[in-house]
Amino acid sequence: MADLFWPGDDRAGDHFTSESFLAALVAVEADWLGRDLDVPHIQDWLSREAEFGGNPVIALVNVLRDGLDGDDARRLHRGLTSQDVVDTALMVMAADAVAALRRDLAAIVARLAGLAEKHRDTPMVARTLTQHAVPTTFGFRCAQWLTGILDADDDVARLAFPRQYGGAAGTRAALVELGVEPPVDTLPWHTTRAPITRIGDALAGCTDACGRIANDVLTMSRPEIGELSEGSGGGSSTMPHKANPVLSVLVRRAALTTTQLAATLHLAAANQVDDRADGAWHAEWAPLRDLVRRTLVAVSQTSDLLDGLRVHDDRMAATLDAAGDDVLAEQRTMAEVAGHDPAPTYLGTIGPMIDAVIARARKLEEPA
């Protein structure tokens, strides 16, 4: 899928494209009918016809029914409503997208664990509110990045993708009348939209964690700092000397926009009414699509960013050295309160904390 408005969108592949949406809708109808159905080549036509019914299912069912005979034609879609089909298709697509997302998250976890281990003792100055604070190590910074990614992956791993089979108003009355045994694994969720908002929150959490990494790389790769750099920076259309940290810029772009998409899903959830909503349900589809695709892109770009990340530990050491005694001011105060001379180092429990995060990452890599 090409999208000049969102460079890198092709990294999201076929997830949540109009074509995959149509295929998922047909798959839901086929599963309900209990037989295979061909995906018709009606993409453009269906996108226009969907306006008349407010969703693509009504026109799609008519096309599918025209291709069936006898009992199959009568049984197609029976007991379902359009929202059942759309919601279930969204869950099918979301499950596929999350599986792909977790593969990229796993690659990031492995890379960050390696960086944290390698730079466990690489000295640098910590910065708080943009100013020099106390000594730290780059390994500890990597462990912080890693913790954010691990937390995000935990949230993604807990996601569920319930199917929707409620019928016209969620009562499943048509199913009972038809003699169809209703699914008992989940209740209809036509107007209780937690399955959607939980996906949105988990995806936004991924871009939060990736954005935090990108922000640090952007700051630390400024020429006046020079502690990090991207492996292959992007060029400038007018300044040939520049090597812009493009991947970090694009990841930060995602982090700045996906939270608003997740907020739209919550706004839609809060505006559900009656037994099936008028507009709030319809408002979910495009934001969810954009959120899924932008998260997939951002996580993939973060993986590439870390694979090529260059660590300039000499600049880290030089900056720490240039900070002088100021970065040890807190240590001197604490030592005076405690009544002893300052210790040779002032790194607290950085080492064990790094080790604990790495152990958590390694556990994730173990076979289930």
pLDDT of 283-339, one tens digit each? 999 999 999 999 999 999 999 999 999 999 999 999 999 999 999 999 999 999 999
Instruction: Render 36-50 in DSSP notation, one character per residue.
Output: -----S-HHHHHHHH
**The one-letter amino acid at 186:** T
The residue whose two tokens read 């607290």 is 348
The per-residue pLDDT for range 53-105, each reduced to its tens digit, is 999 999 999 999 999 999 999 999 999 999 999 999 999 999 999 999 999 99
* Candidates 48, 236, 332, 362; catalytic one: 236
The residue whose two tokens read 């790094």 is 354
Q: Is the pLDDT of residue 274 over 50?
A: yes
pTM of structure = 0.95
Per the annotation, the verdict on 276 as an active-site residue is yes
Dihedral angle, C-alpha 228, 149, 91, 24, nearest 10 °: 30
* Candidates 193, 276, 293, 294; catalytic one: 276
pLDDT at 240: 44
Per the annotation, the verdict on 236 as an active-site residue is yes
The per-residue pLDDT for range 230-251, each reduced to its tens digit, is 987 554 434 445 578 999 999 9
The per-residue pLDDT for range 168-227, each reduced to its tens digit, is 999 999 999 999 887 777 899 999 999 999 999 999 999 999 999 999 999 999 999 999
Per cent of the chain over pLDDT 90 is 92
Lowest-pLDDT choice from 141-155, 230-244, 265-279, 345-359:
230-244
Spatial contact of 296 and 100, defined as CB atoms under 8 Å apart: yes
Spatial contact of 148 and 212, defined as CB atoms under 8 Å apart: yes
pLDDT at 7: 95
Q: Is the pLDDT of residue 368 over 70?
A: no
pLDDT at 181: 85
The full set of domains in the chain, from first to last, is 15-78 (no CATH), 92-365 (1.20.200.10)
**The one-letter amino acid at 164:** Q
pLDDT confidence bin for 1, thresholds 50/70/90 = low
Q: Counting every residue, how long is the chain?
A: 368
